[in-house]
Structure 1
Amino acid sequence: MPIGDLAPEIALLLGAVLIVLFAAFTPHERQGWAAGLALVALALASILSVLQWQPSPVLTFSGVWALDTAAVAAKLLVLLAGAIAVALSPDWMRSDRRHGEYYALCLFTLLGVIMMASAHDSMELVVGILLSSTASYPLVAYHRGFKPALEAAMKYFLIGALTNSLLVVGVVLLFGLVGDTDYARTAQVLAASPDAAPLALSLAVACIVLGLTFKLAAFPGHAWMPDVAQGAPAPIAALLTVAPKVGAAVALARFVTLLPASQWWPAIVALIAVVTMTLGNLAALRQTDVRRLLGWSSVSQSGYALMAVVVIGAEPQALAALLAFLAAYLIANLAAFAVVTHLRGRTLLEDYHGLGRARPVATAILILALLSLTGIPPLVGFFGKFLLFKVTIAGGYTWLAVVAVVNTVLSLFYYLRVIAVTMFKPLEGEVHVLGTGSWLALLASGVLLVAASLGAEAGLGLASALRFVS
């Protein structure tokens, strides 16, 4: 059990502790330096994660920790999201006296998320979810004087408390059935007696799936997402709409591969996917708040991601499709929120009137991001969705792919509505923006989106090598 197997996680943990100590003894005007420390910790964790990439996946720490290509890819995506969110934060948080502590909470949140992606034991999964949740609750409410932030944090906390309780109940039930929390042992016991205690097993699986819908922002644990997208600090909204989704999707896919083939879970997850994507798109249609619109869009994107989970045991390329789609969504959504953050969190649709004339570069990045979220070729979002539809049909769920295509067409209406007002409505007043730091982070997110679109074919080839440890 070499300690190096946890090197990326240790880098984040030590970085967070160092930032807490730095913030405690540093005056207000230098609190922004903590962002640099956070970026160094994220860069170090990313390098250490790349070094863990190996063609032969292994289990470590007595089988509770997975070192496979899927976990490494998820870590890199989560760390990328964290880096962009941190880079957007100094200009946004400059006037806040507790600026330094904010970055430590960001690192703790990311640490919990990558634990979810690597957990090969149900108790490790619980620890990861609880850590990411408890660290992110105060981040949502960081602007204590902003009522929508407090409302969003309270809703986020209450839904999290309920769904996390269900998750723990499911883990306890599963432990009672198999006598172990280790995934490998669980799979062995369930394969040996697939018809034993079907009701208890079904209840345990249902509780665990419902618990993970909270971090996925999927139905029925989705209601916090639009409020957090609207009320949290904009960089945190960017982070929480993407990072937990990556960790939870990989964790759910890893968990369902343990279940007997005769179980009913694929049909239930397919139903959750349909409700999630349809509800998210229908709710987004009537939004006049851009941040809230992006929140409901995030809900709908969770429904698409669940399509790959439905066929994870039936189609060999389902895992590759899942992570390719998550990568495409993460890059596009971060770019969209980078624009929102640079515009000082301008949130009403009317605030974007004539933006194309006042801020053409920011508008171009926003348009590319929204078109990628829709799935318009040749942007990276198209390749992610195409691969999802392909594996869903190959896995025998053609009807689910048809529903997803209809929802994709539906989403085009509200994304185009935002694009239309930026280009065809007259400019109303001066457009104020944040400083140079947020501008550089915005440019970086835009360059990343373009580069990912140009290199999508090579990325799909890399994704085909992703797999879980046996």
Structure 2
Amino acid sequence: MPVGDLLPEIVILVGAVIVVLFTAFAPQQRQDWAAGLTLVILGVASVLSLMQWQQAPGLTFSGVWALDAPAIVAKLLILLSGMVVVLLSPDWMHSDRRHGEYYALCLFTLLGVIMMASASDTMELVLGVLLSSASSYPLVAFHRAWPPALEAGMKYFLVGALTNALLTIGVVVLFGLVGDTDYQHMAEALGESGDGAPLALSIATACIVVGLSFKLAAFPAHVWMPDVAQAAPAPVAALLTVAPKVGAAVALARFVSLLPASQIWPAIVALIAVVTMTLGNLAALRQTDVRRLLGWSSVSQSGYTLMAVVVVGIAPQALRALLAFLVAYALANLAAFSVVTHLRGRTELDDYRGLACRQPLAAIVLIVAMLSLVGIPPLAGFFGKFLLFEVTIDAGYPWLAVVAAINTLVSLYYYLRVVAVMIFKTSQGETHVLGLWSRLAMLISIMLLVVASLGVEGGLAVMQSIRFAD
């Protein structure tokens, strides 16, 4: 068992322990140093992950851990999201006496999400989901003196407890059906059994899909997302609207690629995709709270993500479309939340009146991020959605692409409403911003989004033959 295959994850784990020990003994005025330490840890893990790109796709640790391109791309995107979130955090958390441990919780959350994306065994998948969930619950309610944060944390915990139980039930049923938790052995057993146990397999699949829908913030486990986006600390909202979605999308695509083509799971996932994107967009139409609007937007984006999952075993380019869309979504959403954080978490739509005059840089970043989220060319979000539509149509699901296109038109309204308020409404007083760290995070996120938009052709060429390890 080559331990070197898990060097990025080991660095994160050991680093999280070091951060915990540091914050336990460091004085209050030195708690900010944990942010710099966390950035170093994430940077080292990112470099080690990049070094794994040249390796041939394969499985390690007795087949329970995948070292393939989807896992590495997801890992890099998760680590990048973590670095942006850590940059947003020092100014926001400075007044909290115990905020040093916040960074350790972020590292454990990221480690759990990376485990989800790399898991090639159902027990490994459950472990990743539970680790990311258990470490992110306290992050949502970190401002424990603010009732909305406590309410959001409790809703997040209750929904997570239910869906994690369903995930575990599905894994147990599947184990009883095939006699193994390893994906490779499961695929062989399911291929041999054919339709021998369709009911049991359908129950297990449904439970696992619902369990992962919690991390995706997809229907029916989506209800926590708007509350978390609105009431959690703004950097935490940025983290939980991006990182778990990336890990869960890759984990779900990896799992459904094992299932027999004759099963009804594509129809189930397609239905969930339609309900998720439609519900998210319709709910966002009536929001006057920008953070809650971004929360419902995140729900709708999960619906688009599931389009690639539906056709992952049918369309050869489904994985490439999925990862391209996740990259575009993650960068745009991080940019949007970096602006919200930089503006000290201002959340009412009226707070953004005339922002283009008062804070032109923040307004430009938010406008570009929202245009990318809706899918306006030549931004990365357009190419991500275009690839999703292309593979969905090629795989024989044109009706799903039509529904997604209609939902995209609907989303145009609420994104442009925020843009119109910033540009055309009269300014209302002075706007106070957070600090240098949040400004730096905002600049980095928008630069990454612009670079991704300009370099989309090269990125797609790199991911041309991307596939899961056998």
- Fold shared per TM-score above 0.5: yes
Post-superposition CA distance 1:255-293 (Å, at most 9, x none) = 001101100000110000000000000000000000000
- Which residue does 1:18 correspond to in 2? 18
1:174 partner amino acid: L
Hey, what does 1:439 align to over in structure 2?
A: 439
The match for 2:350 is 350
Partner of 1:159: 159
Q: Structure 1 residue 52: deviation in Å?
A: 1.1
Question: Which position in structure 2 is the counterpart of 1:375?
Answer: 375
Cα separation, 1, equivalents of 2:316 and 2:260: 17
- Partner in structure 2 of residue 429 of structure 1: 429
Calculate the aligned-residue CA RMSD, in Å. Answer: 0.7
Asked if 1:339 is matched to 2:339, the reply is yes
Supply the distance in 2 between the matched residues of 1:469 and 1:196 (Cα, whole angstroms).
27
Aligned length: 470
Task: Give the C-alpha shift of residue 56 in structure 1.
Answer: 2.4
Q: Structure 2: which 5+ runs fail to align? A: none
Counterpart AA for 1:56: A
Shift of 1:55: 5.6
Question: Which residue in the other structure is 2:111 paired with?
Answer: 111
| Alpha-carbon shift at residue 463 of structure 1 (Å) | 2.2
Mean Cα deviation higher: 194-203 or 124-133: 194-203
- Equivalent residue, structure 1, for 2:211: 211
Give the corresponding residue for 1:64.
Answer: 64
1:336 is paired with a residue whose SS is helix
The aligned residue for residue 53 of structure 1 is 53
After superposition, what is the alpha-carbon deviation per residue over 1:433-458, rounded to whole angstroms, capped at 9, x for unaligned? 01111111111111111111111111
Q: Cα offset for 1:32? A: 0.6
Partner of 1:395: 395
Residue in structure 2 matched with residue 8 of structure 1 by the alignment: 8
Give the SS at the match of 1:53: helix
Whether 1:173 aligns to 2:173 is: yes
In structure 2, C-alpha distance between the alignment counterparts of 1:466 and 1:359, rounded to whole Å: 41
Give the secondary structure class of the aligned counterpart of 1:59: strand
Corresponding residue of 1:226: 226
* Distance across 2 between alignment mates of 1:434 and 1:425: 23
Give me the whole-angstrom Cα distance separating, in 2, the residues matched to 1:162 and 1:329.
27
Q: Per the alignment, in what secondary structure is the counterpart of residue 196 of structure 1?
A: coil
Gaps in structure 1 of 5+ consecutive residues: none
Give 3-state SS (helix, strand or coil) of 1:222's partner. coil
Is 192-201 or 335-344 further displaced after alignment? 192-201
What are the superposed Cα offsets for residues 35-88 of structure 1, whole Å, 9 maximum, x if unpaired? 001000100110111111136211111110111011000000000000000000
Which position in structure 2 is the counterpart of 1:248? 248
Name the amino acid aligned to 1:222: H
**What residue number does 2:99 align with?**
99
Q: Alpha-carbon deviations, 1:152-186, whole Å to 9, x = none? A: 00000000000000000000000000000000000
Specify the alignment match of 2:201 in structure 1: 201
- Separation in 1, partners of 2:229, 2:466: 31
Counterpart AA for 1:337: F
Counterpart of 1:246 in structure 2: which amino acid? V
Within 2, Cα distance between the matches of 1:314 and 1:435?
A: 48
Q: Which amino acid aligns with 1:24?
A: A
Distance 1:56 1:13 in 2: 25
Q: CA deviation at 1:466?
A: 1.9
Given that 1:54 and 1:68 are in contact with CA atoms closer than 8 Å, whether structure 2 keeps it comes out as no
3-state secondary structure, aligned to 2:54: coil
Contact 1:32–1:100 (CA under 8 A) maintained in structure 2: yes
